[in-house]
Structure 1
Amino acid sequence: MGAGQYLGFAGILAVAVAAAFGATFLPESAVPYLGLLPLTLGIKAAVQAWRHRGDDDGEPELTHGGPRILEVAAITFANGGDNIGVYVPVFATAGTGGMTVYVVVFLILVAVWVAAGRYLATRPVVARALSRWGHILLPVVLIGIGLLILIEGGAFGSTG
């Protein structure tokens, strides 16, 4: 998942940096619709889990390599809409040097989070839980993230 995490986060940083320099890649009204990416991936994972519910091979889908790099990257990027909204004004006021420092620190911290995730996933209790419930948990989490992004972003109209 580390490569996908970096790819998705690099996309977030690239959009934020470009927007900070005056380019507008994502209009504000489009950001909530990034929630469609994890929602679609979650529905796909749910359909696959449902189709393979009777399979008795002893290995849930999660153990077959886990999510693909591009799926992780898409989820990371889609979930980063709020990050873009925060990073753009910070980057725009930090100047090139300050922006570089921010980007380097963010990339280092992504490595820390990925390492922590890998450590936890290799603990026997966590690994057993993921092995038993991961094929159900993954679609639920992805659909939840997608809906949260859509709802909180106002894709279905104003919430306030």
Structure 2
Amino acid sequence: MVNAGIIGQAVGLFAVTNIDDIVILALFFAQGAASRGSALRIVLGQYLGFMAILAVAVAAAFGATFLPESFIPYLGLLPLALGLKAAWQGWRRRDDDERVELDHGPKALEVAAVTFANGGDNIGVYVPVFATSGLPGMSVYVVVFLVLVAVWCLVGRFFATRPFVAKALSRWGHVVLPLVLIGIGLVILVEGGAFGLGFG
């Protein structure tokens, strides 16, 4: 029988380590609002990115290190590059009154890259929890996390489709999204001390 306490811990752990993903998801959903199939690509990308995080964390919990700790700060290059790309595309189309939102909305692999990079620090939190939970406990964490990814996608889409939020994101999303992605990239790089950027 599954311990309800582990489920509660899994929910709490997911929430505190992924709360910022809701904002990013809302921006992605707003970006692809006018594009058919965009929502499915965003959900797929979110799952791909998060499953990659889980795969690395589970492997590390069993003692296999596929992603050296010193490499994690450099994951910031992924959202930084995507943010710069989005900024360039938005600037290039600034005079187009019938602008198509950034290549018909975000691509699944772009969402996955941002999700994985933004969750790189989550790996360090998940590994000791998984390692001390045993295989049954780890399985519960993984299942709960994967269910909550869907919940996070629904919440992100909910915010993106609220009239006030949708209007604001429609007007400013092409500016905010690149800034958020670039900001995430820089924070990951600086906090991790990549390229000697750390303050400590």
Scaled to the shorter chain, the TM-score interval is over 0.9
Q: TM-score, normalised by structure 2?
A: 0.75
- Confirm or deny: 8 A CA contact 1:60 1:131 kept in the other structure: no
User: After the TM superposition, which residues 8-157 of structure 1 pair with which residues of structure 2 at under 5 Å, given as runs?
Assistant: 8-57=49-98, 59=99, 61=101, 65-157=104-196
1:69 Cα deviation after fit: 0.9
d(CA) in 2 for partners of 1:125 and 1:70? Answer: 29
d(CA) in 2 for partners of 1:154 and 1:113? Answer: 30
1:60 Cα deviation after fit: 5.2
Partner of 2:34: none
1:14 maps to amino acid = A
d(CA) in 2 for partners of 1:121 and 1:104? Answer: 26
d(CA) in 1 for partners of 2:125 and 2:132? Answer: 12
1:27 maps to amino acid = P
Q: Secondary structure at the match of 2:182?
A: helix
d(CA) in 2 for partners of 1:137 and 1:68? Answer: 18
1:145 Cα deviation after fit: 0.3
1:113 maps to amino acid = W
After TM superposition, the structure 1 stretch with the greater mean CA deviation from structure 2, 35-44 or 105-114, is: 105-114
1:79 Cα deviation after fit: 0.7
Deviation string 1:40-69 (CA, Å, 9 cap, x unpaired) is 000111111111111111x4515x642111
Deviating above 6 A after TM superposition, structure 1's stretches of 4 or more consecutive aligned residues are none
Deviation string 1:66-105 (CA, Å, 9 cap, x unpaired) is 2111111000000111111111111111111010000011
Unpaired runs of 5+ residues, structure 1, are none
Superposed CA RMSD in Å reads 1.3
Q: How many percent of aligned residue pairs carry the same amino acid?
A: 75
1:118 maps to amino acid = R
Q: TM-score, normalised by structure 1?
A: 0.93
d(CA) in 2 for partners of 1:145 and 1:19? Answer: 24
- Confirm or deny: 8 A CA contact 1:60 1:132 kept in the other structure: no
Deviation string 1:84-130 (CA, Å, 9 cap, x unpaired) is 11111111111110100000111111111111111111111111111
Unpaired runs of 5+ residues, structure 2, are 1-41
